[in-house]
Amino acid sequence: MSDKIKVLVVEPIKPCEVREIPDTLEAMQQIVGGCIESVSFEREAIICNENGKLLDLPFNRPLLDESGLLPLDILQGTFFITGVSGESFVSLTDEQIQRYKNLYDNVMIVTALREIPQDDHSDQKKKRGTHHER
């Protein structure tokens, strides 16, 4: 059994990247930037930052059901996809890599600008000045 596994890393607004990583918790945490959470399917798992929403990490890709059609949620922050065998993470096959590259290289989420709170507009009013300051 190898001490490395082949995974597909998915970063926000970037194409997917195949990487060979150490099969350790530390290596997985380093990719997602914190504690990991696993969303497992039959033969694959998506590993993401379990606090991605709380940390307001950038929107990444939709979490789709096993058919690849129904969005279940939006993944935030960098995540990766790995194979699953029983209770262990294993390397993805070439077929799995191609399937997920085809899916996630073509579906990206670009976030719109967030609304600026009302308090932030006060600086603009000050810059314009009043009639007697002109």
pLDDT in tens, 11-48: 998 999 999 999 999 999 999 999 999 988 889 999 99
What are the tens digits of pLDDT across the range 38-95?
Answer: 988 889 999 999 999 999 999 999 887 777 778 889 999 999 999 999 989 999 999 9
What does 24-87 look like in DSSP terms, one character per residue? Answer: SHHHHHHHHTSSEEEEE-SSEEEEEETTTTTTTPPEEEEEE-TTS-SEEEEEES-EEEEEEETT
Domain count, the chain: 1
- The closest of 2, 3, 23 to 80, measured between CA atoms, is 23
Q: Which has the higher per-residue pLDDT, 20 or 117?
A: 20
Q: What is the residue range of 36's domain?
A: 4-133
* pTM for the whole structure: 0.78
